[in-house]
Amino acid sequence: MINLQSRDYCPLLNEIEAYVKNPLFSQFCSEIKEKYKINEKIEYSSCSWEKGWNVKFKKSGKTLCTIYPREQYFTVLVVVGQKEKARVESLLPDCCAELREIYRKTTEGNGQKWLMIDLEDDGAIFRDVLRLIEIRSARQV
């Protein structure tokens, strides 16, 4: 088993997938890679909030989302900045209650909301996260 907190070894995507033990992780990564024609970047974060290896998807230098691996699920970070805020807020009424609640409870700082969304299955919140990433990618020109 890999140690995601150890800086000594950079895991491969398939090793992170084995750690998560949820096929949704692979499905999520595949959908992002295919839709945006990008590859993952596995990076180590020294941040005290989320120390360890994570998976980032970047397009044109901007991060679309960051994935924090967990056992049996994973957390997706999607940043909603000033440029995305109006579009996201107009989409919220069509999103599941869980995502609306996450958005409502997330404090805004420096004009951004850092949405931390746990994904365990391919239900409504999974589809809503993909819609948020679509909005985030729209500003990539």
Residues 63-119: tens digit of each pLDDT: 999 999 999 999 999 999 999 999 999 999 999 999 999 999 999 999 999 999 999
**Closest by alpha carbon to 128, among 99, 89, 87?**
99
For residues 34-51, give the mean pLDDT. 91
* Cβ-Cβ contacts under 8 Å for 45 (sequence gap 6 or more): 51, 52, 53, 54
Q: How confident is the model at residue 35 (pLDDT cuts 50, 70, 90)?
A: very high
User: Taking all residues of the chain, what is their mean pLDDT, rounded to a whole number?
Assistant: 94
Q: How confident is the model at residue 47 (pLDDT cuts 50, 70, 90)?
A: confident
Residues 37-69, buried b or exposed e (16+ Cβ, 10 A)? Answer: ebebeeebeeeeeeeebbbbbbbeeeebbbbbb
Count Cα atoms within 13 angstroms, Cβ side, for 2. Answer: 23
- Does the pTM surpass 0.75? The reply is yes
* Pairing assessment for the beta strands 62-69 and 40-45 based on DSSP bridges: unpaired
Instruction: State the pLDDT at residue 139.
Output: 54
Q: What's the CA gap between 117 and 49, in Å, rounded? A: 15
